[in-house]
Amino acid sequence: MADVARRIAAALPYDGVSLPDFSIEAGRLLGDVNYIHPFREGSGRTQLQFLQQFCEIAGRRLDLRQIDRADWLAASRSAHDANYEPMGRAIHAALTCSGPLAPPPFPAP
Q: How many CB atoms lie within 10 A of CB 93?
A: 14
pLDDT in tens, 2-18: 988 898 888 777 778 88
Phi/psi of residue 95, each to 5°?
-75, 130
pLDDT in tens, 42-92: 888 888 998 999 898 888 889 999 999 999 999 999 999 999 999 999 999
> Per-residue b/e over 25-57, b at no fewer than 16 CB within 10 Å?
bbbbbbbbbbeeeeeeeeeeeebbebbbebbee
Superfamily of 2-9+23-97 according to CATH:
Fido-like domain (1.10.3290.10)
pTM of structure: 0.79
